[in-house]
Amino acid sequence: MSEPPQVGTHTMQASNGKESVLLSVRDLKVHFPIGRRRADGARDKVHAVDGVSFEIRRGRTMAIVGESGSGKTTTALSVMRLAPVTAGTITFNGLDLTAMEGDALRRQRRHFQLVFQDPYSSLNPRQRAGEIVRMPLMLMGIGTPAQQREKVNELFRIVGLREDQQVLFPHQFSGGQRQRLNIARALATDPQLVVCDEPVSALDIAIRAQILNLLRKIQRERGQSFLFISHDMAVVEHICDDIAVMYLGQIVEQGARNAFFSRPLHPYSVALMSAVPTVSGGREKAAQRIKLSGDPPSPINPPAGCRFAGRCPATQALCEQSPPALREVVPGHKVACHFVEVEDGRITAPLDGRIAYGNTEQLA
């Protein structure tokens, strides 16, 4: 089996002039069995991810957003093959990752790496910073010791750390510096895909902007693709090219950044956007906010119809009876809602006019 080309040498565009697909996820399901077996031998299952499909093209950032428990982190871990896949396929660089085990999967891991949420607990407190960044190269058997040292020096420069800081331990760095160290480690093997799981949620707003700008700079200069997991719509707007909104294990809306943030269509997306701070702020913004009542339904026994129906401000009888399909309403923009309609090229959505868009605060 031939190895995929390395970053810096792989073709960024397909022969038809469009970006080629790096990662393709099709009908991904991750169900976790819980509790004891019943008399019939069956067990309850948590439907953490329940039929998710999306693509990431080379050199682009796909963001997955949603509140806690929506399944976005489990989706990311499944892409990394760090969570068990119940059904579906994950195709990376034309290779089916879900069919790989052992050495074959290990050889592919150098091509996709992960930046964790917590910039401290994800670092070995007993290792010096230089060794932390060098470790992936050693584990993968990449380069000679001299080449590994030079690579570490280069990565420290890329992420904005000084070369002399390689002898320090993680506790001697600030939170932002520790996350730069995590990013340097993730870049060590020149991965084609970097998965970022809430990488700035533990940082204050000023440092958050610095890390996001660093990720964008890395993408421009090195051509990496990113899968970015977040619950913060303002952060996502700053970093993503494409976005998917998850609710209770399913994608309810998916589209390009500009189209989505100019006009989200699904009621859940509109509710999320209504909570984003704006430049104007004030009483007018507070009055526009859509407050969802109740809690999401149980992922052990999800409802038969729309999973958002119990909290949706625009729910109707059909919503509780039939699950809406994720369908393309305009090219590149998909939504799973019975009452988003297209007539004579004009889209109507259930919560049209409830809030204004396009003026969310930029982080930098």
Place of tokens 């990394």: 80
How many structural domains compose the chain?
1
pLDDT string in tens for the chain (364-residue length): 334 333 333 334 443 435 699 999 999 999 999 888 887 778 899 999 999 999 999 999 999 999 988 999 999 999 999 999 999 999 999 999 999 999 999 999 999 999 988 888 889 999 999 999 999 999 999 999 999 999 999 999 999 999 999 999 999 999 999 999 999 999 999 999 999 999 998 888 889 999 999 999 999 999 999 999 999 898 899 899 999 999 999 999 999 999 999 999 999 999 998 877 665 544 444 446 787 888 889 999 999 999 999 999 899 999 999 999 999 999 999 999 999 998 887 899 988 876 655 544 444 3
Structural domain includes residue 333: no
Q: Which pLDDT score is estimated for 279? A: 52
Structural domain includes residue 277: no
Of the candidates 350, 347, 310, which has an alpha carbon nearest to the alpha carbon of residue 330? Answer: 347
**Ordered alpha helix ranges (H), 159-296:** 175-187, 205-222, 233-239, 257-262, 267-274, 282-288
Q: Is 147 exposed, middle or buried (0-12, 13-18, 19+ CB in 10 A)?
A: exposed
For residue 168, what are the domain limits?
123-191
Q: Which pLDDT score is estimated for 15? A: 38
Q: Which pLDDT score is estimated for 202? A: 81
Structural domain includes residue 42: no
Structural domain includes residue 70: no
Task: Give me 50's structure tokens.
Answer: 């329940």
Q: Which pLDDT score is estimated for 2? A: 39
Q: What's the Rg (C-alpha) of the chain? A: 22
Report the amino acid identity of residue 10.
H
With b for 16 or more beta-carbon neighbours within 10 A and e for fewer, the 21-37 pattern comes to bbbbbeebbbbbeeeee
With b for 16 or more beta-carbon neighbours within 10 A and e for fewer, the 54-84 pattern comes to bbbbbbbbbbbbbeebbbbbbbbbbbbbebe
Structural domain includes residue 147: yes
Q: Which pLDDT score is estimated for 267? A: 95
Of the candidates 147, 78, 162, which has an alpha carbon nearest to the alpha carbon of residue 112? Answer: 78
DSSP state of 13: B
CA 268, CA 266: separation in Å to the nearest integer? Answer: 5
Q: Which pLDDT score is estimated for 355? A: 65
Structural domain includes residue 326: no
Helical axes 129-140 vs 145-158, angle rounded to 10°? 130
Structural domain includes residue 133: yes
Give yes or no for a contact between 318 and 304, defined as CB atoms under 8 angstroms apart: no
Q: Is 243 helix (H, G, I), strand (E, B) or coil?
A: strand
| β partners of residue 251 | 246
CA 205, CA 95: separation in Å to the nearest integer? Answer: 39
Its pTM stands at 0.87
Structural domain includes residue 289: no
